[in-house]
Amino acid sequence: MGKVNIGLRGWRFDEDVLGEDGRVRPLATMEPEDRQRILVLADRVVDPCDACWLEYGEDQIEECNVAEVIYGEPRGEVVLCSAHEPDFLYWFREAGGKEFAGELELRDAFHQWILDGHRAPEEYEGLEHVDEDPTSLPEAPGRNEAIPGFEEEIAGLDEEDLDAMDIDLDDLDV
pLDDT digits (tens, 9 = 90+) for 94-130: 999 999 999 999 999 999 999 999 999 998 876 665 5
Report the distance separating Cα 47 and Cα 67, nearest Å. 6
The pTM score is 0.72
Predicted pLDDT at 66: 85
C-alpha distance from residue 41 to each of 49, 95, 100, 121, 150 (Å):
13, 27, 20, 29, 11
